[in-house]
Structure 1
């Protein structure tokens, strides 16, 4: 996990050249570098690094002796870099996983290089021989990337929106109106003119989330043929076990978030199992949070922790502590979406505790399972299995704006790196291509087939395996009252009636519908102004959902 920033096509001499100005030091607290690129006019790049894989050679921008015309900025982890290095007989200059990108780019070009990578990434390659710059982002957008282009020939790219605060030149104020997400699973080439100006381009998709990734042809997968239920279940267990195993890559300690639900419990159990297989002596540390020791999630997680033998940590927070964190959470998330902010408050507090009180840096999480395996309760209402599949695909294509954004920002804000095995492309492409009726809920149980795949394995307690889906905002609350209900009740008296009555006049775009929405919107605009609306989207439910 790192923070990257690049600007092309304008005079950067007036730019504030200190890491505090970049606003993303939290993404890479170990090393920092900012510099101009040799031979390229009107350009500047910056990099904050979290040391996970590789030594000093992993500092960026990365320029190899073999390809002096190429420069790389990458926020990512490439899990199959050793496989590709061996397959194509590349001689590495560093011990960093990201180096493989430069070798692949040089031999195959940007599109195929992106297709061959098994990992999570947001990277920029500057090619002074071809006079171009390339941007690329992983299939689900697990690593963030924003970009801006202007007709005046300016291109900017950064890990977080708040980086726009460093664009102090008056000529660049137009960028504040056009900053947007770089779409996941896409790449983009922009030509660079002799004067450093950039010719704008459009992102192009390099693969779909439901098609098998190109990198699979270089991996030995022991998949069984056929769609018999037991065969499919074995394949699911095998692929997901691999997804967890490859995400243990790195030199820093691995911890796991644990809510006591199916997703986080399976991830934590497999993580503990794999660490033992790799000979790691220290036990897996697991972490849960609630408003008190009797919160639903805390009780459930405690039971799972005993089962898997983890060193378990229970963190509690009060309503006052939660309210105090709201402003920081909104600045961290860069959104005013209610369904993103509510669960992010306890998540933010939990990650802060992990960072301050433990030596865990790599954090395993269960994000993505609900989208892949149809875990949200509204999937129970799907008219047909085909409708459920379409909704699952829609949510996965947009997950970078919601759950992935939330978990990335909450961890990165505290110098932690998230690992999400349920968004492993080999696993998800297999699961999404199973028959739609096999993946649909059964007997009123969401994520039925995923649960059934792990039944009988004694990986987690049986009542955890079949525990009904419960929202994180509900599970961390007190008995009888969820966290978000406490929040709503508190804000009801905090926001004045007359301000809410004028909300439709003050906010014509995404008009706040509740006092809670208005409260978040006011904080957001104080932090970012009103010009970032187009990157802020409320989470949507399918038309057939009742709530």
Structure 2
């Protein structure tokens, strides 16, 4: 796992710009604390930061292969889980090897198959190849978008990087955020390619972007297609079990210490059980918790039970070496931790303790392990969220937005700004565009067709937000988090399983529950879905209020171009023991924006 960056400029000589590519590369030191490398030629400059996972001494980058017509050079981030099979195939085709790394497999795969190498990879990856033979750059991103990848077209080429901060370190990149960028930031629809900063784009998941002197060309190499599902219930459960077992086995391969993130829910518990079955004794597991959470827990609209009892049941069953990372409001609201999260994510997401606790969890894990397996994305694949199963799934909008809209909230943003942004119309446009991308089977039952659409929305929109959050928070501390549920074989198979089979026992995630029942305690098999935890300690809200009052004394701060000062004043005076979710979420968003503006110094163009 690493960070990559680069600069292609057909009308410039980049050999005099080494200091710039060095600065772009340095922004991602956290993503790759083990090594750094740059490679500069007149047309192109490439940078790489390395987190060594496989072949620790041999996987240095940028990695070059010579050909009679010119060099081919790769910068690569991620993991290819089928690299052993690909290596054997390439060896049979005559390729010789200098290292044991998956990076060289990808490089030689490109030499053999060109851009078609993308279709052959099983993994999470973002990589760029400079092909001197044709003076072109080829950028490739994994099918589900597990690894981030951004680019910014320039007058004579392109800038790219694993994160926007790498691109923003180049003087050619404008630090402008306009109304188009803000619409998506506030709407929660994950518009394809969106990157907040004006002119910047994501390489979309499952896509190859090629850059030549003639411009940019994008090709989609993977999408969710509708295909008939002919397996019966028993065969379907067995196939899910077979896939999950193989996926976890592959994703445990590493030359560094590994662990599993364990929340006590079905998803992470299934991964934990399968990992323990593969590794035997000695598996490490980690969980996040909050001071007093179990003893003082109160059910709410999202969570019925605390996580701790279920975590203990799983750890006892598999015999893991378990560690709880227990956080208090002081740690969760520390302004320096908030700023670290903002630097990691590059955007003021406003998720509060769900972001800071994740960052602090990963930071604690990194002291013990370098690779962690996660249960992320199972809800999107198997249909686990509550809004899959209530009226939200039938609403004429994104189901998560329909669900969240059912909870009364007030907005901290300036009313005039909200009026200019036209968020209702924006969300409606995004929803229509997203639905139009869904492929259906001829004669599909209307309810099955609707649930296919809902699953597609989650797998192409919602999950990408969560994957980006997970990647940024983990890589900010040099931890590689792998996501077994994003294996494209599993995603394709379950996506095309009828909704009636996904819920055959009257519960959410029926297929996963039955496929992994053999590695789960009874308590977890019977547990109702509970999302990532959030502290219920009123001390959290009180700390937000105190920090908000301090910001209110800064009369001319630019955050008040976006935020209603009166709203902040009112929210900061509410009794913290009676604070609603709207006030708390609004204060978190306000403080995120305040610190983000200080850190990034964006030019806000609000037309």
Alignment of 1:52-451 (within 5 A): 52-65=53-66, 69-88=71-90, 89=92, 90-110=95-115, 112-150=116-154, 152-167=155-170, 169=171, 171-173=172-174, 177-192=198-213, 199-210=214-225, 226-276=230-280, 283-292=282-291, 295=294, 296-324=306-334, 325-339=337-351, 341-356=352-367, 358=368, 360-381=369-390, 382-383=393-394, 384-399=447-462, 401-440=464-503, 443=506, 445-451=507-513
- Residue in structure 2 matched with residue 522 of structure 1 by the alignment: 594
Alignment of 1:453-464 (within 5 A): 453-455=515-517, 457=518, 459-464=519-524
d(CA) in 1 for partners of 2:527, 2:219: 41
d(CA) in 2 for partners of 1:313, 1:234: 32
Give the C-alpha shift of residue 19 in structure 1. 6.5
Closer/same/farther in 2, CA of residues 260 and 63 from structure 1, 3 Å limit: same
Gaps of 5+ in 1: 193-198, 213-224, 277-281, 535-547
CA contact (8 A) 1:140 1:423 kept: yes
Closer/same/farther in 2, CA of residues 386 and 442 from structure 1, 3 Å limit: farther
Closer/same/farther in 2, CA of residues 20 and 71 from structure 1, 3 Å limit: closer
CA contact (8 A) 1:30 1:49 kept: yes
Offset from partner CA, 1:503-542 (integer Å, 9 cap, x none): 9971299x998333222222222222335999xxxxxxxx
Structure 1 consecutive aligned stretches of length 4 or more whose deviation exceeds 6 Å = 497-505
CA contact (8 A) 1:22 1:166 kept: no
d(CA) in 2 for partners of 1:402, 1:446: 22
- Pick aligned residue for 2:548 from 495, 509, 523: 495
Give the C-alpha shift of residue 494 in structure 1. 3.9
d(CA) in 1 for partners of 2:379, 2:292: 26
CA contact (8 A) 2:135 2:212 kept: yes
Offset from partner CA, 1:172-220 (integer Å, 9 cap, x none): 447963222211100011114xxxxxx43142211114579xxxxxxxx
d(CA) in 1 for partners of 2:604, 2:129: 27
d(CA) in 2 for partners of 1:200, 1:69: 21
d(CA) in 1 for partners of 2:206, 2:43: 29
Does structure 1 residue 452 correspond to structure 2 residue 514? yes
Give the C-alpha shift of residue 226 in structure 1. 4.7
Q: Alpha carbon RMSD of aligned pairs, Å?
A: 3.0
Give the C-alpha shift of residue 252 in structure 1. 0.8
CA contact (8 A) 1:72 1:123 kept: yes
Alignment of 1:463-542 (within 5 A): 463-474=523-534, 477=535, 481=536, 487-488=540-541, 490-492=543-545, 494-496=547-549, 506-507=561-562, 514-530=586-602
Offset from partner CA, 1:326-380 (integer Å, 9 cap, x none): 22112212222234x4422111111111223x2x111010001011111111111
Closer/same/farther in 2, CA of residues 59 and 400 from structure 1, 3 Å limit: farther
CA contact (8 A) 2:313 2:523 kept: no
Q: Which has the higher contact order (CA 8 A, sep 6+)?
A: 2
Secondary structure at the residue paired with 2:58? helix
- Residue in structure 1 matched with residue 298 of structure 2 by the alignment: none
d(CA) in 2 for partners of 1:268, 1:530: 42
CA contact (8 A) 1:240 1:421 kept: yes
d(CA) in 2 for partners of 1:531, 1:269: 49
CA contact (8 A) 2:251 2:482 kept: yes
Closer/same/farther in 2, CA of residues 380 and 364 from structure 1, 3 Å limit: same
Offset from partner CA, 1:50-102 (integer Å, 9 cap, x none): 11112433111111245752101110211112212223413323211122222
Closer/same/farther in 2, CA of residues 399 and 159 from structure 1, 3 Å limit: farther
- Residue in structure 2 matched with residue 545 of structure 1 by the alignment: none
- Residue in structure 1 matched with residue 5 of structure 2 by the alignment: 5
Closer/same/farther in 2, CA of residues 21 and 189 from structure 1, 3 Å limit: closer
Closer/same/farther in 2, CA of residues 265 and 351 from structure 1, 3 Å limit: same
d(CA) in 2 for partners of 1:508, 1:322: 23
CA contact (8 A) 1:374 1:388 kept: no
Q: Aligned residues, how many? A: 490
Offset from partner CA, 1:92-131 (integer Å, 9 cap, x none): 2321112222222223220x21011111110101011111
Closer/same/farther in 2, CA of residues 42 and 70 from structure 1, 3 Å limit: closer
CA contact (8 A) 2:209 2:219 kept: yes
Secondary structure at the residue paired with 1:130? coil
d(CA) in 2 for partners of 1:96, 1:84: 12
Give the C-alpha shift of residue 486 in structure 1. 5.5
d(CA) in 1 for partners of 2:77, 2:289: 32
Give the C-alpha shift of residue 227 in structure 1. 2.2
TM-score, normalising length: structure 1? 0.82
d(CA) in 1 for partners of 2:314, 2:268: 10
CA contact (8 A) 1:210 1:428 kept: no
Give the C-alpha shift of residue 388 in structure 1. 2.9
Secondary structure at the residue paired with 1:402? helix
d(CA) in 2 for partners of 1:85, 1:251: 18
Secondary structure at the residue paired with 1:272? helix
d(CA) in 1 for partners of 2:22, 2:218: 31
Give the C-alpha shift of residue 251 in structure 1. 0.6
